[in-house]
Chain A
């Protein structure tokens, strides 16, 4: 809806849901009785389920607004945690987006990054990396020809680099040199058309160019 209080409200709510899942998992590990409604999710201790976990570190659930991520030492624990989550959503009246459901695996894309828990490698997926590099090249080529780029294009590049920098060290200077000219005029541009039409003279921004080259 565009309400400023909505994200924190959602995250607070999501954390409550996450805690219900984590507490149920902890109960199962300790052999305690499940909450009403959750006892229908089978306990699979003999196959390495949550009841067989040696410690709470064997499983975890984190949440990012509406995205729940379960991590477990063993496949069976992952399946059990997953089923607990599904049951909790059902009891609360929440609808899970089934097409986005991903069963336990060692390689997965989360928040735009590809995690490989066998090799320990965190990387930006190839297609996304190519998109960023292409955009950098376009901005540099335009600057070399003495041209300018629309505010919206430079903003897009900034957002992509910001996102990438949350997981992979890029050097923050990359982001700040791009941010400065965007910030300087952002308040004047109130709609999409203005943002697409306002040109930023990147050809005369030496710091931005040298940092993008680096």
Chain B
């Protein structure tokens, strides 16, 4: 793990960049240091919160609880060939967009859902960003980084997954009677909650648009 997790940049490398960007990079460096220390000590990222013991306590089957605790294997049908690509050009559209991308990556590092590597992972998917209007964000805009796993060849090498059906609006309505009450709860960053087994981390690489980490 010590050969893998770590960073290869320092804030001084970016002294000439605009101050607004430097502030984000400084904080990113501190958070990366913290995350590196955590991973080296515990062998898993600080954001691995899903509790296998809690799942067992609530009656989840032991194999499923085990997968929730130690991480699942990515369902590859064959190993994707090596791939590395820098972030898409749209993340460099202007300084504002670039800062948004850096802030979003910083958020993910702070959450302990991403860690810096000092060696090249097997797959480095190109990074992009998507925006969505959201009344729940301070500036009214939700920003999410996206790693293009189709472009990098990860998705084409994954086994066919089972068809899934989401409940439709009409099904939701059918489950409710007249004068019923509805309540709603939402989980934070659900997609980041599934631990992937350590052997497969190398297929989920992406790079920082400024530091290249």
User: CA of A113 to CA of B169 in the docked complex: distance in angstroms?
Assistant: 8
- B interface residues, Cβ below 8 angstroms from A: 49-51, 54-55, 57-60, 64, 68, 72, 74-75, 88-90, 125, 136, 146-150, 154-155, 158, 161-164, 166-173, 175-191, 193-194, 204
> Is A207's beta carbon under 8 Å from chain B?
no
27 examples of A-B residue contacts, CB within 8 angstroms:
A1-B204, A2-B125, A3-B204, A8-B163, A8-B164, A9-B161, A10-B190, A12-B164, A13-B68, A14-B190, A35-B57, A65-B166, A67-B184, A70-B183, A71-B176, A82-B185, A85-B185, A89-B185, A92-B50, A93-B50, A94-B49, A97-B188, A104-B181, A105-B183, A110-B169, A110-B184, A117-B180
Query: Could you say which residues of chain B place their CB within 8 Å of the CB of A171?
Result: none
CB distance from A118 to the nearest CB of B (A): 6
Closest to A69 in B: B184
Given A4-B150, A9-B194, A62-B167, the answer on whether A71 and B58 have CB atoms closer than 8 Å is no
B182 touches A4 (CB 8 A): no
Residues of B within 8 A of A11 (CB): 164, 166
Q: Which of A16, A95, A104, A118 is within 8 Å of B64, CB to CB?
A: A16
Name the prevailing secondary structure of the A interface residues. Answer: mixed
A10-B194 contact in complex given A5-B75, A94-B49, A117-B178, C-beta closer than 8 Å? yes
* Interface band, chain A: 35 or more
Decide yes or no whether A192 CB sits under 8 A from chain B: yes
Check if A188 is an interface residue, CB within 8 A of chain B. Answer: no
| A193 → chain B closest CB, angstroms | 8
The smallest beta-carbon distance between A42 and chain B, in angstroms, is: 16
Closest Cβ of chain A to B177, distance in Å, is: 7
Q: Tell whether A102 pairs with B167 under 8 Å between CB atoms, given A4-B149, A191-B90.
A: no
| A81 at interface, CB cutoff 8 A | yes
Task: Write out the residue numbers on chain A whose beta carbons fall within 8 Å of the beta carbon of B149.
Answer: 1-4
Chain A residues, CB < 8 A from B183:
69-72, 78-79, 81-82, 102-105
- Total inter-chain residue pairs, C-beta < 8 Å: 213
What is the distance, in angstroms, from A80's C-beta to the closest C-beta of chain B? 10
> CB distance A92 to B51 under 8 Å?
yes
Shortest Cβ distance from A72 into B: residue: B181
In whole angstroms, what is the CA distance A66 to B190 when docked? 6
Contact status A88-B58, CB under 8 Å: yes
Nearest-Cβ distance from residue A146 to partner chain B, whole angstroms: 32
Q: Which residues from chain A sit less than 8 Å from chain B, CB to CB?
A: 1-14, 16, 20, 23, 35-38, 57, 60, 62-75, 77-79, 81-82, 85-86, 88-89, 91-97, 99-106, 108, 110-111, 113, 115, 117-118, 120, 122, 166-167, 191-193
Contacts of A69 in B (CB 8 A): 172, 182-184
Bound together, the chains give a CA A105 to CA B191 distance in angstroms of: 28
CB distance from A30 to the nearest CB of B (A): 16
A110 to B175, CA, bound (A): 14
With beta carbons under 8 angstroms apart, the residue of A5, A38, A70, A193 that contacts B184 is A70
Nearest neighbor of A100 in chain B, beta-carbon distance: B186
- Nearest chain B residue, comparing its CB with the CB of A90: B54
Query: Which of these, B49, B125, B167, contacts A93 with CB under 8 Å?
Result: B49
Give bound CA distance, A118 to B168, whole Å.
20
Do B182 and A70 have beta carbons less than 8 Å apart?
Answer: yes
Bound-complex Cα distance A120 to B72 (A): 43
CA separation between A164 and B32, bound complex, in Å? Answer: 43
Known A-B contacts A8-B161, A89-B187, A93-B54; A105 and B169 likewise in contact (beta carbons under 8 Å): no
Instruction: Give the complex CA separation of A37 and B193 in angstroms.
Output: 21
Considering the chains assembled together, what is the distance between the CA atoms of A68 and B180 in angstroms?
16
Closest to B113 in A: A1
B185 & A106 in contact (Cβ 8 Å cutoff)? no
